[in-house]
Structures are given as C-alpha cells and as structure tokens.
C-alpha cells in the first residue's frame, strides 16, 4: 500500500482544517484522533481527489506513514502533547520528525526537543495562526528549531501558508523553541490589539452613543483605510450580527467576562523575566482578569456611581480621533511585542529574524494588518532595529497621531470610561521618549533605606550616601 506523506494527530478545529489544507496542496495525509466520530467524518469532509485517511488506532496511523515519518501534532497545549508523545515515541524510528503546531509553552518545547533527541527523533515547535479559516485556506506559520527537519517540511509549509504579494507567510523563526516563542508574542500582541479595539468600541458606543449600525459603518471605513486589519474586519462584522434567540444584536447579549488560554499571561511573564517593558500587553491580560470580577463590579458600580457621560461636541471629529488613537496604540502594541522578541532572541540565542517575523505576520494570522507592511519596510532598511519607534518613517506616523491619543484619553478619563490599554500606550510612549525620567529619586530612596547605591551623571562609578534625616 502507498504510504502517506504526512500524519496529523488531533482532528479538532485546527488539526482537521490544517490536514485538509495539506491534502489540497497535493500531499497525502493520514489523521489520528482518539475521538471516533472525528475520524469517521474526516474523509467525508475532504476535497474530492485528495488523499486523506483517518484512524483512531495510533499503531495503524504510524504504520501508514512513509519514512522518515513527518507527523504534525494539533492537540491542546500541556499534558495532551506529553500524552501523545509518550504513546507515539515507542512506535517511531530514528530520523522521524514530530512537529508540535499547537500553542505550547516554549519551555515545554525545549524539554521535548531534548527528550526526543535522545531517541534520534527530530522535534520542532511551530506556531500556527489564523483560526479555523486560516488553517483551512492559509495560515501564518512560525516554525523553529531543528533546521534539518525544517528543510524537509519546508515545501509543504510554503504551499499551505497564506500568500502576500506572492510570498508565503512562513519562514524559519530561529533555533530551539523560537517558533513557539514568536507565536506566544504574536498572541500577546493579539491580546493588546483586541483590548484596544474593545476600548475604542466603548468610547464610541457609551461615550458618543453610536448604535451598532453606526459602529459597523465606522469600522467599515476604518478597515478601508490605514487601520485595515483582520481584527478590525471581524469587529465590523460582529456589529451587524443579529441574535438568533432574541431581538437585537448578538453582541449586546454576550456576557462581559473575557476568557483566556494562557499565551497572553506567558508573554507578560516572559517580559518581566527578561526586563522588557510591554505594559499594553500586561494591561490587556489584567483587563481580562478584571472582567472576570463581574459580581464585584456590579457591587462597586452601585457604591461608586459615575456621573453622566458628557457626549463629545463633534461626533465626526471624535470618531476620527479615536481611530487615530487606535492606530497609534496598535502600532505601539506591535512595538512592545517586537522589543520582547529582540531581547529574547539575545537571551535564549534564538536568532529570530525580525524582518521575517513581520513579513510572515502580514497575511494569514490574527494580527495581520496593513501596518505590518510599513514595519517590513523598516526592518528591510535596518534588520537590527532595536525598537520600531526609532525608525524615521514610523516616527512621522507616530507624530501625526499622538495628539489624538492624548485627546481620546482625556475624554475617557474625564468621563470615567476605563481605557487601561490606551493609557499604557501613552505612558509607554511618554516614558520611552523622555531623556530624563524621575527615577533619580527612586535611586535616592533605594540608597537612603537600603544602601543600594546609585550612579551619577557627572562621574563614573557607584556611590552611596549617608542620607541625613530631618526627623529630629
Ligand atoms: N482554535 C484556534 O483558533 C487556534 C488554536 N491553536 C492551538 O492549536 C491547538 C489545537 O487547538 P484546537 O484545534 O482549537 O483544539 P480542539 O480542542 O478543537 O482540538 C484538539 C483535538 O485534539 C484531540 N486530542 C486531545 N488529546 C489527544 C490525544 N492524546 N491524542 C489524540 N488526540 C487528542 C482532541 O480530542 P477530544 O476532543 O476527544 O479531546 C481534539 O480532537 C491548541 O494548542 C490551540 O491552542 C492555535 C491557533 C489557533
Ligand atoms: O492562538 C490563537 C490565535 O492566534 C488562539 O485563538 C488563541 O487560543 C486565543 O487565545 P485566548 O483563548 O487566550 O484568547
């Protein structure tokens, strides 16, 4: 019997769609899942003429694959990945390739690389973004790790990935767990942009009393302009989705408690660990946490009632300012995530090519946007740019939007509308662009109470002072 080119473990939302995408691109592929129903339905959903086969027997699955075997895992991160590996390892032979394409924690990936290497097996961590549709018709794919393994699966990855200007949205992201690290940061940025969009919605909806129809029109305009992106596009559509169980819009019936699976939190933890400031991503994680205190928020809203919102005088101008603020805030969210990649690449010796990162994020993934084209141009000019804000063209964009951000935040704070994300963007920008920060005082305080020492502006060296108390 003819052997299959690829194997897919996990036939859920992502695995099934990625499998069909691989098959549509001319590769034969076998699928495995513990769930019998997903297996039996697999062949019915395949495109006619493609070579797809499903099984719930791991032994049968492994035996179906050509050698060296190339197996993609699309199961939930954490224990399920270890469970699959434990079961499949005894069935594999030296030289086989296992690619974990789920959202695994990068430190788990490093551990698994080392573990499988002892058996002569290649293990790669690979980020995939684009959700269900992306997986089916062209995701952004972030592979990393074993270079030999990467080269043997590269033709397939390039075939199934999204295309922008004829170029595939996949590239080698660097050594070890770099692929999963880049995907984690992608998701951190995703959290930040989603938070900023939801704050903009609140400002327009509660602040300027725009109806869902009007919001649909605003987001449609934004998506046709410089804010063009996947997240703005889907938000536009969400505003016009009618509810199927009640009158009105579905959005208005959705409970305001945001879920999360962990990648945003990992991004924040990583930034803290590596001394990188990503306050907008942190704020996005914190906002989801705050949203979960629904019962307490109800009590607090009664204890601290807010005064009536003073609607903006000129709605058209307000919409334009919020749009500009959102554009700048989105730009600075990418900036923060990319600065974490710069530091992590040094720290973990990943050798992440930033130019390729923004190149492959231009299409297929959840954070794809027209703005990334400008970023790509900036990294093409200087691939070692430490912070995107230091690029001349980007600085022109930033300068043209900053006053709108200040005005938008002014409106929000004076009306008691929470804008944790937007405010962190402005605070980050103001701190990053200030030559002298007030932390000279923090250094003095640290030295005063703990002899922690300080540096001087006028002399090299480390100093300590016996500070004089006036508390006589
Ligand atoms: N959904 C999305 O938009 C995206 C998800 N991801 C990541 O992709 C991965 C998969 O996500 P998704 O497809 O949404 O998840 P699903 O839950 O839809 O699918 C996971 C599949 O894996 C199966 N599975 C679990 N354990 C095993 C096992 N030990 N052996 C074989 N199969 C197993 C599950 O079976 P069962 O249901 O019976 O448990 C299920 O069919 C996750 O890491 C996720 O974070 C990445 C990008 C986007
Ligand atoms: O990886 C993704 C998109 O890129 C997933 O959709 C991710 O799971 C979303 O994260 P969360 O559930 O924490 O919002």
ipTM for this model? 0.97
The answer to whether position 198 is within a domain reads yes
pTM of this prediction? Answer: 0.97
**Judging by beta carbons within 10 Å of its beta carbon (0-12, 13-18, 19+), is residue 34 exposed, middle or buried?**
middle
CA 117 to chain centre: 29
- For residue 1, the model assigns a pLDDT of 73
CA 368 to CA 453: how far, in whole Å?
46
276 & 202 share domain:
yes
455 & 417 share domain:
no
Mutation pick for ligand 2 pocket among 74, 106, 190 (CB with most ligand atoms within 8 Å): 190
- For residue 21, the model assigns a pLDDT of 98
132 part of the active site: no
Binding-site residues, ligand 2, Cβ < 6 A: 103, 129, 131, 187, 190, 259-261, 263-264, 366
321 & 394 share domain:
yes
Q: What is the mean pLDDT of residues 124-130?
A: 98
- For residue 275, the model assigns a pLDDT of 98
71 & 151 share domain:
yes
Identify which has the larger pLDDT, 384 or 8. 8
Active-site entry in 38, 183, 355, 401: 183
Q: Which helix (H) or strand (E) holds 244?
A: none
Contact 339, 386 (CB under 8 A): yes
pLDDT tens-place string over residues 419-437:
999 999 999 999 999 999 9
- For residue 306, the model assigns a pLDDT of 93
- For residue 472, the model assigns a pLDDT of 80
The answer to whether position 156 is within a domain reads yes
Whether 262 lines ligand 1, by a CB cut-off of 6 Å, is: no
* 407 pLDDT tier (thresholds 50, 70, 90): very high
pLDDT tens-place string over residues 330-341:
999 999 999 999
- Which range of residues forms the domain containing residue 106? 6-172
262 & 369 share domain:
yes
CATH number at 38 reads: 3.40.50.720
Whether 33 lines ligand 1, by a CB cut-off of 6 Å, is: yes
- For residue 181, the model assigns a pLDDT of 98
Q: Is 131 annotated as a binding residue?
A: yes
- For residue 436, the model assigns a pLDDT of 97
CA 23 to CA 155: how far, in whole Å?
13
* Residue 170 backbone zone (phi > 0: left; psi -120 to 50: alpha; other: beta): beta
Q: Is 180 annotated as a binding residue?
A: no
Q: Is 393 annotated as a binding residue?
A: no
Minimal CA–CA distance to 183: which of 143, 146, 230, 132?
A: 143
Q: Which helix (H) or strand (E) holds 145?
A: strand 140-145
129 & 266 share domain:
no
Q: What is the mean pLDDT of residues 139-155?
A: 97
Mutation pick for ligand 1 pocket among 8, 9, 15 (CB with most ligand atoms within 8 Å): 15
Q: What is the mean pLDDT of residues 59-74?
A: 98
Contact 177, 113 (CB under 8 A): yes
- Give the Å distance between the CA of 25 and the centre of ligand 1: 22
pLDDT tens-place string over residues 217-272:
999 999 999 999 999 999 999 999 999 999 999 999 999 999 999 999 999 999 99
387 & 288 share domain:
yes
163-164 and 140-145 beta bridge pairing: unpaired
309 & 384 share domain:
yes
The answer to whether position 177 is within a domain reads no
Select from 138, 172, 206 the last residue of a domain. Answer: 172
CATH number at 323 reads: 1.10.1040.10
pLDDT tens-place string over residues 365-405:
999 999 999 999 999 999 999 999 999 999 999 999 999 99
Percent pLDDT > 90 in the chain is 99
What the block records as the tokens of 112 is 């698994």
Cβ neighbours for 242, distance < 8 A, ≥ 6 positions apart: 248, 249, 250
Cβ neighbours for 203, distance < 8 A, ≥ 6 positions apart: 322, 408, 411, 412, 417, 419
Looking at the predicted structure, is the pLDDT value of residue 189 above 80? yes
CA 456 to CA 464: how far, in whole Å?
10
- For residue 9, the model assigns a pLDDT of 98
Percent pLDDT > 70 in the chain is 100
How does the average pLDDT of the chain come out, rounded? Answer: 97
334 & 447 share domain:
no
The answer to whether position 302 is within a domain reads yes
Query: What is the chain's alpha carbon radius of gyration, rounded to the nearest angstrom?
Result: 25
CATH number at 451 reads: 1.20.5.320
pLDDT tens-place string over residues 351-365:
999 999 999 999 999
Q: How far apart are the first and last CA of the chain?
A: 93
* 159 pLDDT tier (thresholds 50, 70, 90): very high
Whether 204 lines ligand 1, by a CB cut-off of 6 Å, is: no
Mutation pick for ligand 1 pocket among 12, 62, 190 (CB with most ligand atoms within 8 Å): 12
As for how many domains the chain has, the answer is: 3
Whether 13 lines ligand 1, by a CB cut-off of 6 Å, is: yes
Residue pointed to by tokens 């990583």:
270
190 part of the active site: yes
The answer to whether position 265 is within a domain reads yes
Q: What is the mean pLDDT of residues 72-96?
A: 98
């Amino acid at each position: 019997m003819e052997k299959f080119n690829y194997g897919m473990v996990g036939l859920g939302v992502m695995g099934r769609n990625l499998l069909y995408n691989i098959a549509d691109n001319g590769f034969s592929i076998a699928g495995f899942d513990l769930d019998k129903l997903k297996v039996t339905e697999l062949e019915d959903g395949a495109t006619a003429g493609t070579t797809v086969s499903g099984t719930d027997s791991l032994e049968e699955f492994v035996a179906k694959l050509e050698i060296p075997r190339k197996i993609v895992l699309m199961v939930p991160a954490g224990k399920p990945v270890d469970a699959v590996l434990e079961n499949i390892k005894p069935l594999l032979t030296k030289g086989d390739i296992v690619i974990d394409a789920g959202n695994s924690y990068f430190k788990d990936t490093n551990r698994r690389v080392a573990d499988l290497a002892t058996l002569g097996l290649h293990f790669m961590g690979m980020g995939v973004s684009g959700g269900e549709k992306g997986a089916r018709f062209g995701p952004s794919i972030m592979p990393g790790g074993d270079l030999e393994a990467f080269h043997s699966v590269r033709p397939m990855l390039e075939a199934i990935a999204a295309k922008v200007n004829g170029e595939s949205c996949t590239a080698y992201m660097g050594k070890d767990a770099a692929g999963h690290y880049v995907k984690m940061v992608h998701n951190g940025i995703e959290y930040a942009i989603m938070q900023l969009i939801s704050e903009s919605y609140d400002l327009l909806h509660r602040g300027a009393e725009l109806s869902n129809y009007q919001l649909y029109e605003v987001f449609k305009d934004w998506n046709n302009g410089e804010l063009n992106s996947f997240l703005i596009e889907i938000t536009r559509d969400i505003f016009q989705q009618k509810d199927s169980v009640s009158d009105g819009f579905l959005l208005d019936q959705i409970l305001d408690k945001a879920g999360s699976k962990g990648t945003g939190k990992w991004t924040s933890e990583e930034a803290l660990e590596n001394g990188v400031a990503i306050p907008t991503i942190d704020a996005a994680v914190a906002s989801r946490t705050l949203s979960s205190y629904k019962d307490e928020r109800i009590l607090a809203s009664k204890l601290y009632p807010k005064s009536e919102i003073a609607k903006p005088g000129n709605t058209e101008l307000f919409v334009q300012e919020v749009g500009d603020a959102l554009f700048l805030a989105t730009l600075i969210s990418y900036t923060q995530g990319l600065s974490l990649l710069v530091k992590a690449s040094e720290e973990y010796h990943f050798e992440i090519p930033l130019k390729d990162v923004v190149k492959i994020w231009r299409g297929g993934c959840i954070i794809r946007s027209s703005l990334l084209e400008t970023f790509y141009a900036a990294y093409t000019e200087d691939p070692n740019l430490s912070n995107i804000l230091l690029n001349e063209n980007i600085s022109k964009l930033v300068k043209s939007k900053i006053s709108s951000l200040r005005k938008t935040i002014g409106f929000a704070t004076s009306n008691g509308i929470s804008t944790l994300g937007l405010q962190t963007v402005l605070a980050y920008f103001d701190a990053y662009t200030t030559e002298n920060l007030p932390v000279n005082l923090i250094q003095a305080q640290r030295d005063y109470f703990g002899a922690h020492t300080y540096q001087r502006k006028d002399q090299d060296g480390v100093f300590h002072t016996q500070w004089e108390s006036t508390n006589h």
